Amino acid sequence: MTTLDLAPEITCPPTDLWSDEPPLESDLHLQQIFLLLSCLDWLWQERQDYYASGNLTIYYNEQQLKKRDFCGPDFFVVLGTEKRPRKSWVVWGEGGKYPNVIVEILSNSTAKIDRTAKKALYQDIFRTPDYFWFDPNTLEFEGFSLTHGQYEAIAPNEQGYLWSKELELYLGIYEQKLRYFTAEGQLVPTPQEVARQEKQARENTQEQLNAEQNRIEQLAQKLRELGINPDEIA
């Protein structure tokens, strides 16, 4: 028997794991998560160095995996990684990367945990730099930035927006939804809003062209009434 035969068997935790999250609390939760995802994907459509998801399990420790003690934030963003579909976020299979930004959507059943246990988890274990929570019913909105290992409340600007250093964007409430705003305070639109704006711009341009054409035709008619052929005018 060789020394290798006596060596203990080495096992590695799995990395190909399905998400194991319960259904979302309400349609408001679903709409809010989709809004955060779609706006960020539109804004960063040229980028391939991030991963954003919602209601997806984060497996962060093999011991926690065995105890089924894992966590699925309502929305999170990981920077400096590959943008591709995943079944879940498995920290040990992603180079040890944890989320840079987490947003929890509060509800009656989760608000206390989001404000306490999850806040402690994201601060002490995940070391997530930016943590926010938002209540779609009461519009309660808070944000925290990791400073010297502790979460400190993010002070709002004059509009009540909270700055995310990781995203380099503001988060704030607009029409009772949590939205992104640029450093200049401009609302980051949804793809649908962009499509409507482009359609309106095309319609406005067409109206201007039609008005100009009508003006030219009216001028030509005046010239004909004066006995002048507008086609002969150089």
Instruction: Give pLDDT tens digits along the chain (234 positions).
Output: 444 454 445 455 666 665 554 556 678 889 999 999 999 999 999 999 999 999 999 998 876 655 555 678 999 999 999 999 999 999 999 999 999 999 999 998 889 999 999 999 999 999 999 999 999 999 999 999 999 999 999 999 999 999 999 999 999 999 999 999 999 999 999 988 877 766 656 656 666 767 677 777 777 777 777 777 877 775
- Residue whose C-alpha is closest to residue 128's, from 105, 99, 155: 99
How far apart are the C-alpha atoms of 57 and 60, rounded to whole Å? 9
Output the pTM of the full model. 0.77
- Around Cβ 34, how many Cβ atoms within 10 Å? 13
Per-residue pLDDT at 215: 78
Per-residue pLDDT at 68: 54
Dihedral Cα 35, 33, 131, 60, nearest 10 deg: -140
How far apart are the C-alpha atoms of 97 and 129, rounded to whole Å? 12
The domains found in the chain, sorted by start residue, are 7-188 (3.90.1570.20), 192-232 (no CATH)
Contact present, 104 and 74 (Cβ < 8 Å): yes
Q: Quote the radius of gyration of the chain (alpha carbons, Å).
A: 27
Per-residue pLDDT at 23: 54
